[in-house]
Structure 1
Amino acid sequence: MPNRTCFLIDDDDDDREIFEIALEAVDKSCVFISAKNGLEALKFIDENPDFIPDYIFIDLNMPYMTGCECLAAVKQITRLTNVPVIIYTTSSYGKDANDTLALGAAHFLVKPASISALTTALSDIINGIATSYLLKSVSIE
């Protein structure tokens, strides 16, 4: 099986570093690529026409382009149509979850408080066993 690729779009340097540490704990062979905001991510995707990651994680609150705007733009790129997009955010607001799921997000993951909790969540997502537990701290209305 070829190496899997995770593309994280998040403006917070610490969050990108923590994500990379957790991802490496889940799968040392997984390729980690990140962008600091939606505009940088879309430019990278545009400049690399063969780039099709296995997973895309998008923070909601970013400068220049919100996570919702970035998600909508990513979903318009034909070659990325089947790539699961996971919203990765500090927000636990039910409306944010509903809005992003309606835009085509596969999951809404509230940023866990520890690397071990993030490692577990990433493991579940990458191994295809993610369930609604990802939404348990979100009040869906």
Structure 2
Amino acid sequence: MSPRPVLVVEDSDEDYQATLWAMQKLERTDLLERCTDGDDALDRLSDRAQSWPKLVLLDLNMPGTDGREVLAFIRSTPYLRSLPVVILSTSASERDVNDCYQLGANAYLIKPVNFAQYTEQLRITLDFWLGLAQLPESAEGP
């Protein structure tokens, strides 16, 4: 069985590069897999032949299929429903936060602009989700 990746759904090359740099700075060796938009994420998550992600870091505001639609798909698909999803967004809108929790997000984080703050936020997030939380081993159901 291939290693389970952290699925990063992020349309911004700069934000994804910041994630890679932060992972290097934190000396994390977690396998990252990137989807550059919501449609790519839907295709990836629908492909049961690929390794099930252990965590999804989901950007909210993307052109086309946005993070809300990806989140709604995950929560409405039985074999994906238990997949942990952390929203990473620049939006501090109360409506966006509430909408994401209503759709079933496990957490909503606002992306800091400062790289050191972003690195620390990523460290805490990954330490919790990949170190402390007991995560489901694989997809369930047909």
Shift of 1:51: 2.2
Alpha-carbon separation, structure 1, partners of 2:44 and 2:27: 24
Q: Deviations over 1:10-45 (max 9, x none)?
A: 111111111122133334320111111110111122
Q: What residue number does 1:73 align with? A: 73
Shift of 1:123: 1.5
Alpha-carbon separation, structure 1, partners of 2:83 and 2:46: 16
Distance 1:13 1:103, change over 3 A: same
Structure 1's consecutive aligned runs of 4 or more residues displaced over 6 angstroms after TM superposition are none
Computed over aligned residues only, the root mean square deviation of the Cα atoms, in angstroms, reads 2.0
Q: What residue number does 1:29 align with? A: 29
Q: How many residue pairs align between the two structures?
A: 128
With 5-14 and 49-58 compared, the bigger mean Cα shift is at 49-58
Alpha-carbon separation, structure 1, partners of 2:54 and 2:21: 18
Q: What residue number does 2:136 align with? A: none
- The TM-score, its normalising length taken from structure 1, stands at 0.80
Alignment of 1:90-105 (within 5 A): 90-105=90-105
**SS of structure 2 residue aligned to 1:44:** helix
User: Percent identity among equivalent residues?
Assistant: 27
Gaps of 5+ in 1: 130-141
**SS of structure 2 residue aligned to 1:34:** strand
Q: Deviations over 1:54-88 (max 9, x none)?
A: 21011111111121111111223333322211111
| 8 Å CA contact 1:52, 1:79 repeated in 2 | no
**SS of structure 2 residue aligned to 1:53:** coil
- Aligned partner letter, 1:28: R
